[in-house]
Amino acid sequence: MVICTLGDLVLDVIVRLDEPLVPGDDRPAVTRVGAGGQAANVAAWVAELGGSARFVGKRGMDSAAELVDAQLRARGVDMCGPLEGRTGVVVSIAAAGERTMASDRGSAPELREDELDASWFECDALHISGYSFHREPLRGAAIAAGELARARGARVSVDLATWTDIDDAFRSGVRALQPDVVFAAEREREAFGELEASWIVKRGADGVVADGVEHAAVATEVVDTTGAGDAFAAGYLVDGVTLGLEAAARCCARMGAMP
């Protein structure tokens, strides 16, 4: 099975704290730096779980780009998309089982529809990061990618990604995509409203609700929840809910979003 993802490839900086940050003071931390971004994470987990993975996105031409590109290729992911500008950076702070993120997306949102190559979307499934619908021209490129993939028989899915940025433009873009499957946390599901699709609602430690059916989470020791939803999406796309929940548990038991 070939699964293509579209979105951001960024430099991920993970910071794990045993105690909360104190403004104006110092706290010990454990850090990890490497490739990240929702679409990149899903692609890496797809490859880890036995699928053929392809990432599509606009990537930078700086030293950070060399690092993250090499890491994703080493995981067996086929890399596609124009090289231009700078690599984004996402800082994720993990503490007490929760995460808070600060995101600089670099050149990723500048991917244009006319930069897409139809051959990139010869796949069984196309998974699009919800961050792709926050800005133009990437929003238009994401919709066009969905059309190219569907014309080749692929199913199309989207992860809403964040509830705070769901506005009318975001809703219009996702509805224009006409996804077959939508991944969303509970707040994202509530914020978006109605859409005719198969909904997979992620509930953290309470598991998921897939098309109205509840599935319990797989028990694990939680080290870092960063990327657990991306791991679940990859597992689901490769072989359904059970593999998705197993992948999410594996992700939570280690630091960082990549397998």
The residues facing 46 across adjacent strands are none
- 38 class by beta-carbon count within 10 Å (0-12 exposed, 13-18 middle, 19+ buried): buried
For residue 79, give the CATH number of its domain. Answer: 3.40.1190.20
The domain in which residue 241 lies consists of: 2-8+36-87+106-252
The pLDDT score that the predictor gives to residue 81 is 97
- Please name the helix (run of DSSP H) or strand (run of DSSP E) that holds residue 43, with its range, or none: helix 38-48
What confidence tens digit (pLDDT) does each residue in 36-53 have?
A: 999 999 999 999 999 999
When divided into structural domains, the chain yields a total of 1
Q: Which amino acid is at 61?
A: M
| Assigned domain for 202 exists | yes
| Assigned domain for 65 exists | yes
Q: How confident is the model at residue 97 (pLDDT cuts 50, 70, 90)?
A: low
| Assigned domain for 199 exists | yes
| Assigned domain for 184 exists | yes
Task: Return the closest-CA partner of residue 108 out of 140, 131, 79, 128.
Answer: 131
| Assigned domain for 28 exists | no
Q: Taking all residues of the chain, what is their mean pLDDT, rounded to a whole number?
A: 94
Catalytic residue among 8, 159, 224, 230: 230
| Assigned domain for 189 exists | yes
Q: Is this prediction's pTM over 0.95? A: no
The pLDDT score that the predictor gives to residue 22 is 84
Q: Has 114 been annotated as catalytic?
A: no
| Assigned domain for 16 exists | no
Q: Which amino acid is at 17?
A: L
What confidence tens digit (pLDDT) does each residue in 145-181 have?
A: 999 999 999 999 999 998 999 999 999 999 999 999 9
| Assigned domain for 44 exists | yes
